[in-house]
Amino acid sequence: MSAGTQDSDIKEIVIMGLTPGGRAFRPSDWAERLCGMMSIFGEERRLSYSPYLKPIMAGEVRCVVVDPGLEMIDSAAFAFLMGFPKDNELTLRPGRKPGNENAVDPERDRRHPDEASGTPVAPG
């Protein structure tokens, strides 16, 4: 799954925070840091993640979901994100796609990591 060659049916690309040995990628906040590179301050004066890049928890694994549409908006950022898994020996896989049972479940996985751990999150 390289830049410019995504399947047109793929709605998301998932960078999974697992090393080849099955260990969690470190530092533990890598997903939030990676997504922070495209964060902006909104009108409410709150920091918000880009709609093209979101940190999630998929089970016990920290992941980053990338919207392939980012390639059209900022090809350099998209290329960096597609190179990140290779540079750090992480898994890159398709996210939601029609008929893909192993896809990211947006209801279960599109939560702030603190929600997944059970730690209360202040209302936005």
CATH number of 22's domain: 3.30.70.2340
Q: What is the mean predicted confidence (pLDDT) over 18-30? A: 89
pTM above 0.75, yes or no: no
Classify residue 64: in a domain, yes or no: yes
Residue 103 has pLDDT above 60, yes or no: no
The CA radius of gyration of the chain, in Å to the nearest whole number, is: 14
Classify residue 88: in a domain, yes or no: yes
Classify residue 32: in a domain, yes or no: yes
| Per-residue pLDDT, 40 | 84
Domain of residue 24 covers 13-106
> For the segment 104-115, what is each residue's pLDDT rounded down to a tens digit?
454 444 444 444
| Per-residue pLDDT, 20 | 85
Classify residue 48: in a domain, yes or no: yes
Query: Any alpha helices (H) in 23-112, and if so which ranges?
Result: 30-36, 70-73, 75-87, 106-109
Residue 124 has pLDDT above 50, yes or no: no
Query: Any alpha helices (H) in 11-123, and if so which ranges?
Result: 30-36, 70-73, 75-87, 106-109, 113-117
Split into its structural domains, the chain has a count of: 1
> For the segment 43-97, what is each residue's pLDDT rounded down to a tens digit?
888 888 888 999 998 888 999 999 999 999 999 999 999 999 999 999 888 886 5
* Beta-strand pair 61-66/53-58: antiparallel
| Per-residue pLDDT, 11 | 83
Enumerate long-range contacts of 117-122, CB under 8 Å, 24 or more apart: 117/57
Q: What residues are paired with 42 via a beta bridge?
A: none
